[in-house]
Amino acid sequence: MRWSRLHTYLGVVSVVGVPLMFFAVLRAPWANLGEPVPTIVGASLLLILGELRPIPISRGADAGDELSISSTIAVAMLFLAAPGVAIAAQSIALIIDEARSRRRWERLLFNISQYTVALMATRVVFADLTGQHVWGRPGDFTPEHLGAALVAAVAFFVLNNGLTGIAVSLATRMPVRRLVQADLRSHFVTDGVLLALSPVVAQAMAWSVVALPLLMVPLVAVHRSARLASQREHEALHDALTGLPNRTSLMLRLSRACTELDTVPVAVMLVDLDHFKEINDTLGHYVGDRLLVDVASRLRGSLRDGDFIARLGGDEFAILAYHTDNDNSALDVAARLRAALESTFELSGADLAAQCSVGIALAPLHGTDEDILLKRADVALYDAKSNRGSAMVYDGSRDEHSLERLGLIADLRRAIDDGEVFPLFQPQCDAATGEIVGVEALARWRHPTAGVLGPDEFIEVAEGAGMLDVLTDSLLDQCLAHLASWHRAGHAVRLSLNISPRTMRDSRFVDRVRESLLAAGVEPHWLTIEVTEHVMVGDAARSLAALDRLRRLGCRIAIDDFGTGYSSMAYLKRLPVDELKIDRSFVEKLGEEPKDEIIVRAVVDLAHRFGLEVTAEGVETEPAWALLTAIGCDVIQGYLLARPLTPEALGAWLDGGHRQHRAAARPILTAL
Ligand code: C2E
Ligand code: CA
Ligand code: CA
């Protein structure tokens, strides 16, 4: 519907402009032009040259427009010759340019008409102010005409920009008023300055044709600086890799869209490629970049006319789909985006598949403010991602929870980079001798405002956001570096690291462990990988293979929280393990709850028959410890021995001779 309005507008202008052009050209006194023919021909050539070397001007965030010195010359010619001459020269210039750049013919007709109308109006203003004839050749151009010429140049500026502005407004759905506000300043310094020169150009042409080449000097200078300025503006608003508008552009567009929501509803869509990081990591940045370029062009190609796309950075894109106010039509747009990526990408001889997830917020339904809308689209994107690549519209009923997660996700990315996520170490000792045999690493996040967060508050979030691998890598490196330093200090302790099932299924994990051990100079048998029985849920074969590889590498494997799963016994048979950790829930009430004692006895016995070591965790009391020792449990871990300690505190603790310690609980985390 909008498009027909644009076409109607282009049609109306053309219907007025084209006949006007023929009329003006035919009315011109071609036999007696007034000015010498070489001057007219020279000026016309200059005009054509200017048209062929235009300056791209940005209008708003993405729609482009061009400006050239040809307008200056055309307006100057109006002051010296009949309007038909300037209009003829301008039209010829446009036709040559059209033949070269192959624009659409309706655009050529519109451009010719637009210039004809603007030039004729300029001529009318000038003739009126100087008392001259409108159609014929004017009198001599003298200094008294300067004022009238300037006013006429202003008329040209307003009409010419006004006529194209309306077309841009109809094409981009941006209101004219906003366009004017956004662009007036930049247009003033470019075509305003150039047009102000037109009386000077006219004077020079009237003086001598020889002056024309001289005039080129200031014109070219203005031309060049205007070109540089607009290039810089373009760079500030566009992404260098894909050429799409960037985040700044998006924010400009979106804040504008937010002021027009009562007439034009908008769907804000965030698009994120699935598994892009893997492609980047395995095939390199060069392939990654080329994939992004191809993805960008496919996404752009799948948009409706008038919709807007920007690249936010990385593998994230944003789309504004105008006139979209309900779930169904937004999901249609999303389906088209996703379909555009369906066929594989041929890059460097390989066929790559790229899928995307889409999160959608509808304005004004879900918000009328750009920040809220983007946040809500991000919440929807998060839901779409956890749904394994789909498109989701923001669901207000899940809001609070999601927003909270969202805040954490945004922070977590930065936190991992800034080293805010770090391990604490809880000592483990030999049940019989009290000798410290190992430590378990427990992740913490020292959040700048929320304080120190425990793993329950962020591990799952990291997993959902696909950041678990980064987090685990960081912890692994930190842990092994500390372990190496304790070994250097003469403390022969092992280290246990908790690994989520998702990480276990990541084919690169075992290599990461190997690399990290090598880098820290730690032998593999000092490292125990703790997994829960959940590792067998999902792709069990893959997890088993990884556990086997870890074991062959020389690492120890422990089953954590043993006894809480549904079929712990069955896993004992299948998993390659060295250690069982009896879950805290059975240890807590040991000594009070006879049934727990029966279970613990059975588990210890079972484990020993399998040749496994048994650790009891959550030991808080002396009687529990005594009972566990009597039962034959090998290793004790719990608050009774020590709470999780910072690496510094643990180092001091070990140095301080706590190796034979059965001490009461230490004051926790004094270092935090
Ligand atoms: P978990 O592996 O069972 O770790 C033991 C948890 O029990 C720790 O809580 C520890 O602080 C706590 N604990 C230790 N002794 C006692 C005690 O005597 N009494 C009581 N009431 N609690 C005790 P935390 O540090 O909050 O860790 C919770 C869970 O988060 C861990 O359970 C583990 O499953 C997970 N986790 C911790 N660090 C990581 C990590 O780096 N990666 C992954 N994937 N998961 C981790
Ligand atoms: Ca554990
Ligand atoms: Ca545990």
Q: Say how many Å lie between the CA of residue 442 and the centre of ligand 1.
A: 6
Bridge partners (DSSP) of residue 310 are 318
> 183: which 2 tokens?
């662009």
What's the pLDDT tens digit per position in 574-596?
A: 889 999 999 999 999 898 889 99
With a 6 Å cutoff on the Cβ, whether 474 touches ligand 1 is no
Domain around 564: 425-671
Which of 206, 237, 268 represents a domain boundary (last residue)? Answer: 237
Q: Say how many Å lie between the CA of residue 500 and the centre of ligand 2.
A: 10
Residue 385: pLDDT band (50, 70, 90) is confident
The answer as to whether 104 is a domain residue is yes
- Per-position b or e across 69-95, b if 16+ CB within 10 A of its CB: bbbbbbbbbbbbbbbbbbbbbbbebbe
The answer as to whether 429 is a domain residue is yes
Q: What is the CATH number of the domain that holds 486?
A: 3.20.20.450
pLDDT of res. 388 = 66
Query: Mean pLDDT of all residues in the chain?
Result: 86
Q: Give the CA dihedral 521, 523, 526, 527, nearest 10 degrees.
A: 80
Cβ burial, residue 343 (10 Å; 0-12/13-18/19+): exposed
Q: Among 114-118, 206-210, 468-472, which is the least confidently predicted range?
A: 206-210
The answer as to whether 143 is a domain residue is yes
CB count within 10 Å of CB 492 equals 12
pLDDT at 61 over 50: no
Q: Say how many Å lie between the CA of residue 386 and the centre of ligand 1.
A: 25
User: 59 with 118, same domain?
Assistant: yes
Which of 215, 237, 259 represents a domain boundary (last residue)? Answer: 237
Q: Say how many Å lie between the CA of residue 479 and the centre of ligand 3.
A: 18
pLDDT of res. 224 = 78
> Which is more confident, 419 or 222?
419
Cβ(47)–Cβ(93) below 8 Å: yes
Residue 553: pLDDT band (50, 70, 90) is very high
Q: What is the CATH number of the domain that holds 85?
A: 1.10.1760.20
Q: Say how many Å lie between the CA of residue 487 and the centre of ligand 2.
A: 22
Ion ligand 3 residues within 5 Å by Cβ: 560-561
Interstrand relation of 64-67 and 316-322 (parallel, antiparallel or unpaired): unpaired
Q: Residue 208 and residue 630: Cα distance in Å, rounded?
A: 115
With a 6 Å cutoff on the Cβ, whether 19 touches ligand 1 is no
User: 631 with 574, same domain?
Assistant: yes
Nearest Cα to Cα of residue 380 among 344, 330, 426: 330
CB count within 10 Å of CB 590 equals 26
Which of 394, 411, 438 represents a domain boundary (last residue)? Answer: 394
pLDDT of res. 246 = 93
pLDDT of res. 398 = 64
Please state the atom number of ligand 1 nearest to the C-alpha of residue 620.
18
Question: What is residue 289's three-state secondary structure?
Answer: helix
What's the pLDDT tens digit per position in 440-490?
A: 999 999 888 777 888 988 888 888 777 899 999 999 999 999 999 999 999
The answer as to whether 404 is a domain residue is no
The answer as to whether 309 is a domain residue is yes
Q: Residue 207 and residue 212: Cα distance in Å, rounded?
A: 10
Q: Residue 178 and residue 99: Cα distance in Å, rounded?
A: 33
> 205: which 2 tokens?
């042409």
Reported residue count of the chain is 672
User: 304 with 382, same domain?
Assistant: yes
Pocket test for ligand 1, best of 498, 560, 622 (most atoms within 8 A of CB): 498
> Which is more confident, 384 or 437?
437
User: 60 with 182, same domain?
Assistant: yes
Peptide bond preceding 265 in cis form (omega within 30 of 0): no
Q: Residue 352 and residue 343: Cα distance in Å, rounded?
A: 9
User: 197 with 267, same domain?
Assistant: no
User: 376 with 515, same domain?
Assistant: no
> 404: which 2 tokens?
């909270």
The answer as to whether 242 is a domain residue is no
What's the pLDDT tens digit per position in 637-666?
A: 999 999 999 999 999 888 876 644 444 333
The predicted model gives 376-381 an average pLDDT of 89
Q: What is the CATH number of the domain that holds 263?
A: 3.30.70.270
User: 36 with 180, same domain?
Assistant: yes
Helix segments in 102-145, DSSP class H? 105-130
User: 177 with 275, same domain?
Assistant: no
Q: Return the residue matching tokens 């607009």.
A: 230
User: 131 with 267, same domain?
Assistant: no
pLDDT of res. 190 = 67
Residue 3: pLDDT band (50, 70, 90) is low
pLDDT of res. 626 = 93
The predicted model gives 18-41 an average pLDDT of 87
Pocket test for ligand 1, best of 416, 429, 442 (most atoms within 8 A of CB): 442
Residue 671: pLDDT band (50, 70, 90) is very low
Bridge partners (DSSP) of residue 308 are 320
Percent of the chain residues past pLDDT 90, beyond the cut: 47
pLDDT of res. 672 = 33
With a 6 Å cutoff on the Cβ, whether 463 touches ligand 1 is no
* Among protein residues, the one whose CA lies closest to atom 30 of ligand 1: 455
Query: How far lies 63's CA from each of 18, 161, 212, 238, 524, in Å?
Result: 26, 14, 34, 12, 59
What's the pLDDT tens digit per position in 322-348?
A: 999 899 999 999 999 999 998 888 887
User: 435 with 512, same domain?
Assistant: yes
User: 470 with 586, same domain?
Assistant: yes
> Which is more confident, 83 or 670?
83
pLDDT at 669 over 70: no
pLDDT of res. 114 = 93
Question: What is residue 584's three-state secondary structure?
Answer: helix
User: 387 with 509, same domain?
Assistant: no
Q: What one-character DSSP code corresponds to residue 325?
A: -
Question: How many structural domains are present in the chain?
Answer: 3
The answer as to whether 400 is a domain residue is no
Q: Which ligand is nearest to the CA of 459?
A: 1
Q: Residue 567 and residue 570: Cα distance in Å, rounded?
A: 5
Residue 570: pLDDT band (50, 70, 90) is confident
pLDDT at 292 over 90: yes
pLDDT of res. 59 = 47
pLDDT of res. 465 = 75
The answer as to whether 433 is a domain residue is yes
Q: Residue 391 and residue 385: Cα distance in Å, rounded?
A: 8
With a 6 Å cutoff on the Cβ, whether 475 touches ligand 1 is yes
